[in-house]
Amino acid sequence: MTIVFDATRIDFADALGGEILQVNFDTAPEDQDEAQRSTPYVLISRNFEVSDSATIEWYDGHDYDGGAEILSVTLKRTRITLCVNRELNFEVTFHLPDKKFKKLTSFLRRIMDDRICFAD
């Protein structure tokens, strides 16, 4: 199964001097109450103090889930594709200015190590 959506908002977060990093691809307005969610998101994070690998959580429009192993990530200028170990893929389109895309690239490089492919 592939979860496909257009992210209208991409948020970046870091804590503890970069020991915890997160990138959230979301479809909901920032001020929306999470209890009212009806649209998908995918959150990729990594806690360098605790784990050697990134984690993922998502909402597919019906249910929350997470904890799958991220097998691969392909980043293009307007799209990210993620494959996880549950016969599940994510294909997320987005539109970012150059500066914010560079920030996205930097965060994902640090979060994913060698499991990211940059494509044209």
- What mean pLDDT do residues 40-55 have? 89
Mean pLDDT across the chain, nearest whole number? 90
The residue segments making up the domain with residue 94 are 2-118
Average pLDDT value for residue range 55-67: 92
d(CA 17, CA 50): 14
pTM for the full predicted model? 0.90
**85-114 confidence digits (pLDDT tens):** 988 999 999 999 999 999 999 999 999 986
Integer Cα distance of 93 and 70 in angstroms: 18
pLDDT confidence of residue 19: 82
pLDDT at 41: 95
9-44: per-residue pLDDT in tens?
Answer: 999 998 887 788 999 999 987 777 788 888 999 999
Q: What is the pLDDT, as a whole number, of residue 77?
A: 95
User: What domain count does the chain have?
Assistant: 1
Q: pLDDT at position 30, please?
A: 79
